[in-house]
Amino acid sequence: MLTSTIKKFVNRLFTAPSSGPERLTRDQHGIDRRSVSRHAIKVCEVLKQKGFDAYIVGGAVRDLIVGLEPKDFDVATNATPNQIRPLFRRARIIGRRFQLVHVVFGQEIIETSTFRAPASEDQETDENGRILRDNLFGTHEQDAARRDFTLNALYYDPLSEVVTDYHHGVADLKTRVVRMIGDPETRYREDPVRMLRAVRFAAKLNGTIDPATREPIEHMAPLIKNVPSSRLFDEMLKLLTCGHAMDCLQRLRAVGLHQGMLPLIDVIFKEEGGRQFVALALERTDSRVRSGKTVSPSFLFAALFWKLTQKRWHELIEKGEPNIQALMQAADDVINGQTKTLAIQRRFQADMREIWFMQPRFERATPKGMWRMLEHPRFRAAVDFLQLRAEAREVDSVQAQWWMDLANADNATRTEMIEAWQRDNQGAASGKLRRRRRPRRNPATTPQTPTP
């Protein structure tokens, strides 16, 4: 009798419909509809006119509630991709693992996906429980349960201005707590990238990771090595461009997550001036991101690895390698050492090298060489990099500023600047900067370019 009562109770707990999601009104969530993409509103409107459910979802809702500008807008709906696509003039179905629709409006793409079902037992996983294939559509409630953190599982209806919240995400968002939906360990096993996402959102929101969500990370961190290296690269880039890059790096190191993606960071931080150089680079990146400017991945990675490359460069020079060959070899050694864990795309690698290789040229340019450098597609980035080095007191800041002015000038002014430079340097050996550098005692600075 008693057991059947308990059974009934337990059954009720698991099968009875929950009290349902919270529905928060404008006053409660505070989203100002004027900050919402009109194209995202349009997608929801069209779908609703056809009798479907449609909401703005994910990062956009999270960011709008805390007053940040969303990067992009995603829509979730109960319409299937084949039902969505014909409703829009420019829409295409993409994805193999899980199909979704890109609805295109000029420059903006609204990613529109169908509600997904929860991870099921017959799902294909690897030996660690990582999900390899899943392609099942589900209900709204199931879709919410599939999302990673409570603050990422919020659904905003731009027409009624109501936020549907199945997991108390708005409350967590207001207290800036990153909390996993479901059992954290299982969910990290399904997708180890969620550990990195937890760190990123906590840093971005200036918040914390809920203890139960944080606790398993340290011992599960090694699972990161099973994630394809191209996905890790994308995630690393997101970490570095979320506007709180240094905080992210520190948090990653605190839980050991950097080992699987950026193990060299420990070595870099141990180098003399290494931490300071990375901090300066990331501060610049953060302030660019926060003021809505773009950030070049090549510049970022060039900055991250510069101190290692420089150290290797010095070592090779000491072994008797000529200056430029030594730098090229150093770049190869450092880049090849890193890309085993995190696949930096080839085009970015090429740009990093060019940014680095232009550095010694700033110190020994002839007027003809200056004009050639000005035409180089990576010139602007290399000058920015020179400024960063000046900020780190590696090079003379007046000289760095001269190059920055040259980069910003029109052609007539460039001619004047280069002629003036030539006049000022006439007394010196032809084509060399007059201001000779003092012999350097600090090993962190650039080696002197040998005079031919």
- Residues annotated as catalytic are 72, 74, 148
Q: Collapse the DSSP code of 94 into the 3-class scheme (helix H, G, I; strand E, B; otherwise coil) and give the result.
A: strand
The region of 25-33, 171-179, 187-195, 325-333 touching ligand ATP under the rule CB under 6 A is: 187-195
Is residue 286 near ligand ATP by the rule CB under 6 A? Answer: no
Per-residue x/- mask for ligand ATP, residues 85 to 124, rule CB under 6 A?
----------------------------------------
The least distance separating ligand ATP from the CB of residue 315, rounded to whole angstroms, comes to 39
Distance CA 265, CA 148 (A): 27
Q: Which does 389 bind (CB under 5 to 8 A by kind): ligand ATP, Mg ion, none?
A: none
39 interacts with ligand ATP by CB under 6 A: no
Question: What is the closest distance, in whole angstroms, from the C-beta atom of residue 147 to ligand ATP in the complex?
Answer: 4
Binding-site string for ligand ATP from residue 193 to residue 212, where x marks contact by CB under 6 A and - marks none? xx------------------
Number of residues written out for the chain: 452
10 Å Cβ neighbour count for 359? 21
Selected range binding ligand ATP among 42-50, 190-198, 269-277, 298-306, rule: CB under 6 A:
190-198
Q: Which of 237, 238, 239 is nearest to 247 (CA)?
A: 239
Phi, psi of 76 (to 5 degrees): -120, 145
Residues 6+ apart with CB under 8 A from 198: 148, 149, 178, 180, 209, 213, 214, 217
How many Å apart are CA 115 and CA 129, to the nearest integer?
22
- Specify the residue, 40 or 261, whose C-beta has the smaller distance to Mg ion: 40
Distance (Å, whole) CA 417 – CA 403: 10
What span, in angstroms and rounded, lies between the C-alpha atoms of 319 and 298? Answer: 29
Binding mask 151-180 for ligand ATP (x = CB under 6 A): -xx---------------------------
- Judged by CB under 6 A, the residue of 157, 185, 191, 333 near ligand ATP is 191
231 near ligand ATP (CB under 6 A) = no
Question: CA-CA distances (angstroms) from residue 52 to 114, 144, 264, 337?
Answer: 11, 17, 49, 51
Whole-number Å distance between alpha carbons of 5 and 304? 62
Binding positions for Mg ion, 45-104, rule CB under 5 A:
59
Binding ligand ATP by CB under 6 A: which of 74, 210, 235, 354?
A: 74
Q: How far is CA 281 from the centre of its chain?
A: 15
Assess 71 for contact with ligand ATP (CB under 6 A). yes
Closest CB 149 distance from ligand ATP, rounded Å: 7
Interface residues with ligand ATP (CB under 6 A)?
Answer: 58-59, 71, 74, 147-148, 152-153, 191, 193-194, 238
